[in-house]
Every structure is written in C-alpha cells, then in structure tokens.
Amino acid sequence: MTNFDPWAAILERLDDAAKLVGLDPDILRILRTPRRVLEVAVPVRMDSGQVEVFTGWRIHHNTTRGPAKGGLRFHPQLDAREVAALAAGMTFKTAVANLPFGGAKGGVRCDPTQLSSTELEKVTRRYALEIMPLLGEDRDVPAPDVNTDGRVMAWLMDTISTVAGMSEPGSVTGKPLSIGGTLGHTGATAAGVVVCVRAVFRETEIGIAGSRAVIQGFGKVGGPLAFLLSSAGMRVVAISDIGGAVYNPAGLDVAALSDHVRSHRTVAGFDRADALAADDLWGIDCELAVPAALEGAIDDHVAARLGAKVVVEAANGPTTLTADPILERRDVVVVPDILANCGGVTASYFEWAQNRQGYAWDEHTVAERLRAGMDRAFAEVWAKAETLGVGMRRAAFAIGVERVAEAIEARGLFP
Ligand code: NAD
C-alpha cells in the first residue's frame, strides 16, 4: 500500500479501456491529462495564535459532459496525484451513472482529528475562497468525501454565498436539509452499494439471507452500509476502522457497535465481539467483502488470501492494479468502485437538480430514482462485461470511456 500510485493506476485502467473499445488516440491523449489543476495555500490562524499554512487542491479532470463534480477530502497524506486520480475516477463514474457531470476532486492536506472545530471551519472557509474561481453550480459542485461532512459543506456553501452576495444552494451538495440538502443523501452511497450487492448476488446465485459480510471502514459509507446489510438479513461478521477490527461469527450488533463508536471513536474495544488484527479481516471466510476506507487496501497479499467470494468496492480505488488479476484467477467477482459507489454522486445530482428547480422531492422519490438508477447502471455494466468477455471493472471503464468520448466527439475541440 505504501508504494501505491493512484494516478498511475487510473491511467493504466484508462489505457486498458481505450484498447477494449478502440478509442481514438487523440481522445485518449485528452483523457490522460487533467483539464485543470489548482494548488492553493491555505493560511489559517490556529487557536495557539500562530499561523499555519496548509496545502489544498481542486482538480478538474474532464468537464465535457457537464459541470465538474467530486468530493472534498481532508487527509494528512493527501497529494496532487491522489486528487487527480480521484478526479479522473469521477469523470468515468458520472459517465457510468449517466449523470450530466464531469469529474473533479479536491481537498486539503491536514489532519482534521488534530484541528479544533474553529480551526476546521477556518481551513474550510479559506480553502473555499482560494478555489472559488473554479466553483459555481454550472462550473464545479463539490460534495463530502473522506473526513468531510454536511457541516463542512454548509461552511463551504455559506462562504460561496457570502462572497456572491446571494444564496447559492446549487453550488455544493451533501448540505444539511435546512439549507437545501436532499432527503436521502446520508446513506445514499451505502444504499447504492446494497443495490449492487443484491444484483451481483442474484447474478452469481448467492442468497442474501444469512450470508456473511466483512467491511473495512465504519464511516459515512461503511456505517450505514453495515446497518443496511444486517437489515437485509446478512450477518456482518467483521468490521475494521483506523483504530482496529472486531469479529463476531454470529453477526455484529451494528446498533450497539455504533453506540460504542460514538463514545470511543473507533470499533476497537467493542465488548460484544472479539478483537481482530485489522489485516485479518480480509482472510475471513465469507460471501462479501466491502472495502469502505481508502485506496490500495486490497493489494496482492490481501487478494491472495481474501476469504470472500464477492467484492463490492464502496471505497474509491481500493484494489491495486496487480491485485486485480489475482482476484480474477481466484474467481472472485468484483463490482468496481465507479459503479458500486455511484449512489453518492447520484444523490448529489438529485440535490443539485432540486436546488436548480427550487422544488424539494419527497423521500420516496429520491430513494426510488436512486434504486432505479443503480439497477440500470449495474445491468448495463453486467451486460457489457458479458459482451466483451471481461470482468466488471474493465466493462465499467469501457462504458465510462465510451460515453465521455462520445461527448468529446459531439462537442469537438476548441478552437
Ligand atoms: P469517512 O471519513 O466517513 O470514513 C472512513 C472510514 O475508514 C473510517 O471508519 C476510518 O476509521 C476508516 N479507515 C481509515 N483508514 C483506515 C485503515 N487504514 N484501515 C481501516 N479503516 C480505515 O469516509 P467515507 O465518506 O465513508 O468514505 C470512505 C470511502 O468511500 C472513500 O474511499 C471515499 O472516497 C468513498 N466514497 C465515499 C462516498 C460518500 O458518500 N461519502 C461516496 C463515494 C465513495
């Protein structure tokens, strides 16, 4: 995981998709380079009185299909190559989900666990100001990602609106409901993952009831996912997070685990389960493994001893390039990130559409459209995989690349 280069990984997947679909080499050259890379200094007066200067980025990979869309990540190891890779992933993800967006990503290299709430707000607002030339509901619409949430999105929206001198709800998604967020946004990524789990289990003839799942990550995606999978009748037998891992072969009590995490900030120490070395989660014999933390989690070693029959990638870029063929050889079915986790950006699209309409949808409409969109995307990728005789990852990239290429051809190259 230490030498994992997410940008090199996404380029290799793009090149592979280009070969699969016979992509015009001129279009491949365009897609191998991000459209815009903005690096900003984020100076903040800390609670100590001293000024600290953080580094932030906002990267637009491609905006041919619509305004740039992608999350903001606050993480101590963030760098430009990771942000660029995540931005490119968004280009192909929005295309697979068939949403009218391009791909972007952004964030600040910082450790939010070491910042007070005041410092976090200052980092967010100053970062928002620095990247503001790129933002706007028709230009670039950020959303939450790792270590950012509705509160951060509210500060972002407020900063954009204050500078504009008018309310700009459509400039940010993942906002609280009180300022134009959508019903069903929290948990939308997890809900989309569950649609994919049901669909891939159906195709591979695995029953949901009683089958076992392991999840890496218990955050905004992994947390609601654990609830949804257990309410669907699965046994979530192991969960890990940054602090450790816990295991209960009878199925974890997810509600009790959530309470534990609320007071201890980690799953470690949960007394209704056995402690597990975080890495041992992957070896557990089960039907489903869901990486829902960071990139590069499933490397060669993990792939070689993975105990699951199916991997549904809730995280972005969780499987390394060299792990892919190992999983394939071992007949592990992988539902790739750009399909499996596109429920989040789909709900963001619904929020943006509601903000532009000035008309809020009810919860049923959001949930039903999300389910229908995910089902359609899964079916298209599954069918493409059968037609091309490849795994779902290569098929999803093929669909994404074809849709973006079609848009580039339709618009032509300026000047
Ligand atoms: P989050 O910050 O809410 O949660 C991340 C979780 O991962 C936490 O439980 C953390 O403890 C855990 N984690 C971090 N490092 C770990 C490690 N080394 N080992 C085990 N666990 C570790 O983030 P999130 O929003 O849940 O995002 C998780 C993943 O899903 C990311 O890859 C993100 O890009 C992707 N994703 C998120 C959304 C969304 O709606 N939030 C949408 C699409 C994709």
> Does any ligand 1 atom lie closer than 6 A to the CB of residue 144?
yes
Pairing outcome for strands 244-247 and 235-241:
antiparallel
| Segments making up each domain of the chain, as ranges | 34-169, 188-335
N residues, the chain: 415
* Ligand 1, atom 37: closest residue by C-alpha: 145
Find out whether the beta carbon of 319 lies less than 6 Å from any atom of ligand 1.
no
Which of 105, 220, 309, 384 is the catalytic position?
Answer: 105
Residue with tokens 């929005």: 94
What stretch of H or E contains 276? strand 274-276
Which segments within 92-243 are labelled E, that is strand?
A: 102-109, 140-144, 212-216, 235-241
Query: What is the reported pLDDT for 315?
Result: 96
In one-letter notation, the amino acid at residue 172 is: V
Measure 146 CA to ligand 1 centroid, in angstroms: 5
26 Cα to the center of ligand 1, angstroms? 35
Task: Map 64-126 to HEC letters.
Answer: CCCCEEEEEEECCCCCHHHHHHHHHHHHHHHHHCCCCCEEEEEEEECCHHHCCHHHHHHHHHH
Token readout for 114 is 């070491």
Query: If you take atom 29 of ligand 1, which residue's CA is the nearest one?
Result: 315
Q: Is the CB of 292 under 6 A from ligand 1?
A: yes
Q: What is the pLDDT of residue 1?
A: 46
Alpha carbon distance 158, 151 (integer Å): 11
> Which token pair is 67?
């305004």
* Threshold 0.85, pTM exceeds: yes
Q: Is 105 a catalytic residue?
A: yes
Burial status of residue 413 (CB atoms within 10 A of its CB: 0-12, 13-18, 19 or more): exposed
Q: Is the CB of 327 under 6 A from ligand 1?
A: no
> Ligand 1 center to residue 293 CA distance, Å?
4
Number of the ligand 1 atom closest to the C-alpha atom of 188: 40
Index of the ligand 1 atom closest to the CA of residue 218: 9
SS3 38: strand
Beta bridge partner(s), residue 308: 286
CA separation for the pair 58, 73 (Å, rounded): 10
Question: Any alpha helices (H) in 322-362, and if so which ranges?
Answer: 323-329, 337-340, 343-357
Ligand 1 center from residue 229 Cα (angstroms): 17
Please state the atom number of ligand 1 nearest to the C-alpha of residue 291: 29
Mean pLDDT in consecutive groups of 10 residues from the start of the chain, 415 residues: 79 97 98 98 98 98 98 97 97 98 98 97 98 98 96 98 97 97 95 98 97 97 98 98 97 98 97 96 98 94 98 95 96 98 98 97 97 98 97 98 98 97
Burial pattern 354-386, b for ≥16 Cβ within 10 A else e, equals: bbeeeeebeeeebbebbbebbeebbebbbebbe
Q: State the Cα–Cα distance between residues 76 and 111, nearest whole angstrom.
A: 5
Q: What spacing in Å lies between the alpha carbon of 217 and ligand 1's midpoint?
A: 6
Q: Is CATH 3.40.50.720 what the domain over 188-335 is classified as, yes or no?
A: yes
Q: Do 34-169 and 188-335 show the same overall fold? A: yes
Residue with the nearest Cα to atom 33 of ligand 1?
315
Regarding the beta carbon of 159 and ligand 1, being less than 6 Å apart is answered no
Determine whether the shortest distance from the Cβ of 348 to ligand 1 is under 6 A.
no
* Fold entry, domain 34-169: Rossmann fold (3.40.50)
Q: What is the CA radius of gyration of the chain?
A: 20
pLDDT for res 69: 98
Q: How far is the CA of 222 from the centre of ligand 1 (A)?
A: 7
Residue 52 CB-density burial (10 A; 0-12 exposed, 13-18 middle, 19+ buried): middle
Supply the pLDDT for residue 294: 87
Which residues contact residue 229 at a Cβ distance below 8 angstroms, ignoring those fewer than 6 apart?
194, 197, 213, 215, 236, 288
CA-to-CA distance for 17 and 394, rounded, in angstroms? 6
337 lines ligand 1 (CB under 6 A): no
Query: How far apart, in whole angstroms, are the C-alpha atoms of residue 200 and residue 149?
Result: 30
